[in-house]
């Protein structure tokens, strides 16, 4: 039986990269593309702040096309849902029936995604979903499996700005304050993946400036 066609919700970070790897290994779905939301004003991935050029390099390295949803800034919830509804229609037109998410344990986020896809004809898939307390082991599985990433966004209310730009590795895990999730699942930080077991080669990159904007700290990762 042929596996259903799927698209991965691609934030540019480590969790979506690992979710892609897991479903490719399991054969549960056949991944056809990556779905990303972009901030029109800054030409960067929404929330993470990843440069569009790095996003394109990631997609090229995993050998998948990008389906991009451009969002205005600021973006109302009504406008977001309108643009995402159009994206869902476009995805279905490609023969894709499943959406893979890299969520780890937040039940409210999972419920929100399930609600948003309800009635669209698209089925959500959560290959990494577990429970609170699983993420230390998951982080080390990702690292030993070949995932390399840099912290590109910090919430300074939860994690010191000095972590912005650092490699997400064993050394960083050892330095995280008590109570900070090692995968940043509570919004402490976001990452940009620069290598994974599905990349054809690591992404050459350099660190640019670190800036504070709208209450978050962003480290620029520049493809080189």
Cβ neighbour number for residue 15 with a 10 Å cutoff: 25
Kindly tell me if the per-residue pLDDT of 1 is higher than 80.
no
Burial 66-87 (b: 16+ CB within 10 A, else e): bbbbebeeebeeeebeebbeeb
pTM (two decimals): 0.96
pLDDT digits (tens, 9 = 90+) for 20-67: 999 999 999 999 999 999 998 888 998 889 999 999 999 999 999 999
Sheet of 216-223, strand order: 189-195, 148-154, 216-223, 205-213
pLDDT digits (tens, 9 = 90+) for 171-224: 999 999 999 999 999 999 999 999 999 999 999 999 999 999 989 999 999 999
Cβ neighbour number for residue 219 with a 10 Å cutoff: 22
Range of the domain at 15: 5-223
Give the count of domains, the chain: 1
pLDDT digits (tens, 9 = 90+) for 98-137: 999 999 999 999 999 999 999 999 999 999 999 878 999 9
Q: Output the pLDDT for position 73.
A: 87
CATH number at residue 57: 3.40.50.620
């Amino acid at each position: 039986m042929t596996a259903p066609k799927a698209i991965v919700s691609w934030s540019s970070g480590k969790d979506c990269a690992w979710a892609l790897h897991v479903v490719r290994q399991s054969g549960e779905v056949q991944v056809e593309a990556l779905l990303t939301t972009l901030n029109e004003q800054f030409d960067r991935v929404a929330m993470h702040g990843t440069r569009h050029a790095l996003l394109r390099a990631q997609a090229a390295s995993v050998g998948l096309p990008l389906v991009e949803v451009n969002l205005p800034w600021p973006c109302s919830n009504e406008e977001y849902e309108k643009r995402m509804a159009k994206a869902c229609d476009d995805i279905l037109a490609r023969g894709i029936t499943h959406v893979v998410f890299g969520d780890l344990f937040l039940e409210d986020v999972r419920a929100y995604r399930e609600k948003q896809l309800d009635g669209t004809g698209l089925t959500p898939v959560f290959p990494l979903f577990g429970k609170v307390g699983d993420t230390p082991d998951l982080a080390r599985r990702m690292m030993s499996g070949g995932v390399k990433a840099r912290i590109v966004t910090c919430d300074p209310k939860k994690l010191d700005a000095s972590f912005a730009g650092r490699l997400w590795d064993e050394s960083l895990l050892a330095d995280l304050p008590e109570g900070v999730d090692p995968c940043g699942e509570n919004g402490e930080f976001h990452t940009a993946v620069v290598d994974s077991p599905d990349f054809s080669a690591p992404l050459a990159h350099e660190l640019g400036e670190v800036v504070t904007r709208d209450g978050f700290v962003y480290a620029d990762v520049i493809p080189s």
